[in-house]
Amino acid sequence: MKTINQIIFILLILIIGAESSKAQTEVLPLDSVLVRLGLNPGLQAYDAKIGAQNAYAKGAKSLPAPQISAGQYQTPYSLTPNTGSFMISAEQMFTNPAKLRAKQDYMNGMSKVTAEDKNYMKNQLAAQAKGYYYNMGIIERKRTLLASTKGLLEYMLKSANIRLTYGKEKLNNIYKAKADLYELDNGQEQFNNDLKQQRILLNILMSRDKQIDFSVDTTLMVKDYETSVTDTAMLVAVRSDIKGINQNINLQALNAKMEYSKRKPDFGLQAAHMFSYGGMANQYILMGSVTIPVFSWSSKEYKANLKGISYEVEELKQKKLDLINQVEGNLAGLRSAIKSKKILLKNYNQNIIPALQNNYKTSLLAYEQNTGEMQVVLEGLKALKMARMEALDRLGELLQLQVNYERENEKY
């Protein structure tokens, strides 16, 4: 009988262990989140746009459609004409090959600008995802902190209830401890809701079911960005918005080349055959044509366009300089903020929290030795919890500063 009970007990343990392992949620690393951003519809829309622009560029070298005509040619109005003819003609214009190449190069350049726009959006999405991910990590740590505080309060309540039976504790202190315990439950509910909201936002970015449950790695890495030095050449090389401006400048150069190609002539060929009436000999027409775009009345448009393009290029260059200046300023400000936030966090971890821990331990020891008040212990525990919460808030702010710094440097 004893052996059967032992087997049943072991089976129950195995079943409970299996159920608990099933209940564990997936731990999703940050790298996996960033990889899944490629499924975001906003990024895929850019891929479709790039595909469309490349498809349009393939048709840039097409010639105008040929023109075919047929009808009477120099035929009198009499019902039985003995002069004139019936003519069939075909005409084809041949656009200058230099114009077609310039047009195709310009249209190919458009997709390069769109590609940089996509990279810029990808960087923004990565920054959002990192922010949500780190928020989840901070919330998880806060939940753990509340759980540990709840355990300490429950221990205090058990001890206080025992003391109450011997008249060594006050009833109002027990009610105060119970109120603090219920307050922790409210805090847990708030954090559970906040965690759910952040999880939904991350699922949206990854373009998957909003209700998929997962947890994050709470080992949040703090980096030494405050010692970094801004390299302007590196910024120009990695920032998608700056590279987008460079591609726009290149695109305008291709646009100018396309406009300049309008100086070149186009050619045409016309062929016709005439079936003559009244016994007259059949005739034909074979003519070539060429456009002359260099005259003043036909060259005003492309000359004006070339001048306008030069102004647009200058605008883009100034915009690029302004953007680089802003980014350098933002990075300098972020480095200063990161350094300051680390000092605050260090003060919490090395000074404030250890002092409050000693305060709590001292008051708890005095309470256990019947030389202290439960109210003092509760106040010490609450102050310790608040300090740890403040430290986690500062850590969250530091991580967000890191996210902003990586976004400025386009590290995703």
Across 154-168, 202-216, 356-370, least confident range: 154-168
Report if residue 12 sits inside a domain: no
3-state secondary structure of 135: helix
Among 202, 171, 198, residue whose Cα is nearest residue 37: 202
What confidence tier does 17 reach under pLDDT thresholds 50, 70, 90?
A: very low
The mean pLDDT value for 180-209 works out to: 95
* Per-residue pLDDT tens over the stretch 333-342: 999 999 999 9
Q: Which residues contact 143 (CB under 8 A, 6 or more apart)?
A: 188, 191, 192, 195
What confidence tier does 169 reach under pLDDT thresholds 50, 70, 90?
A: confident
More confident residue, 346 or 168: 346
- Give the pLDDT confidence score for residue 5 in this predicted structure: 42
- Give the pLDDT confidence score for residue 11 in this predicted structure: 35
CATH of the domain at 329: 1.20.1600.10
Q: Which long-range contacts (CB under 8 A, 24 or more apart) does 344-352 make?
A: 344/394, 345/391, 345/394, 345/395, 345/398, 348/387, 348/390, 348/391, 348/394, 349/391, 352/387, 352/391
Angle (CA) 307-308-314 rounded to 5° is 95
Mean pLDDT, the chain, integer: 90
- Give the pLDDT confidence score for residue 10 in this predicted structure: 38
More confident residue, 367 or 138: 138
Report if residue 250 sits inside a domain: yes
What's the distance, CA 62 to chain centroid?
38
| Confidence check: pLDDT of 234 > 80 | yes
- Give the pLDDT confidence score for residue 6 in this predicted structure: 39
Angle (CA) 229-233-239 rounded to 5° is 95
Dihedral sign of CA atoms 150, 153, 158, 161 in order: negative
Range of the domain at 218: 25-74+85-408
More confident residue, 117 or 294: 117
Cβ atoms within 10 Å of 173's Cβ, excluding its own: 20
The mean pLDDT value for 115-138 works out to: 96
More confident residue, 22 or 403: 403
The mean pLDDT value for 113-135 works out to: 96
The residue count of the chain comes to: 412
Report if residue 110 sits inside a domain: yes
The structural domain count of the chain equals 1
Report if residue 15 sits inside a domain: no
- Give the pLDDT confidence score for residue 105 in this predicted structure: 95
Report if residue 384 sits inside a domain: yes
Cβ-contact 349, 384 below 8 angstroms: no
Backbone angles phi, psi at 81, to 5 degrees: -70, 145
More confident residue, 120 or 80: 120
| Confidence check: pLDDT of 399 > 80 | yes
Report if residue 4 sits inside a domain: no
- Give the pLDDT confidence score for residue 389 in this predicted structure: 97
- Give the pLDDT confidence score for residue 21 in this predicted structure: 41
Pairing of strands 26-28, 214-216: parallel
The mean pLDDT value for 369-398 works out to: 93
> In this prediction, what percent of the chain has a pLDDT beyond 70?
94
Report if residue 382 sits inside a domain: yes
| Confidence check: pLDDT of 8 > 50 | no
* Per-residue pLDDT tens over the stretch 51-74: 999 999 999 999 999 999 999 999
Q: What is the DSSP annotation of 63-103?
A: PPPPEEEEEEES--SSSS-SS-EEEEEEEEEE--HHHHHHH
- Give the pLDDT confidence score for residue 24 in this predicted structure: 60
The mean pLDDT value for 81-110 works out to: 94
* Residue recorded with tokens 């947890």: 215
- Give the pLDDT confidence score for residue 165 in this predicted structure: 81
Whole-prediction pTM value?
Answer: 0.84
Report if residue 332 sits inside a domain: yes
* Residue recorded with tokens 């960087």: 123
How many CA atoms lie within 13 Å of 397's alpha carbon, on the beta-carbon side?
16
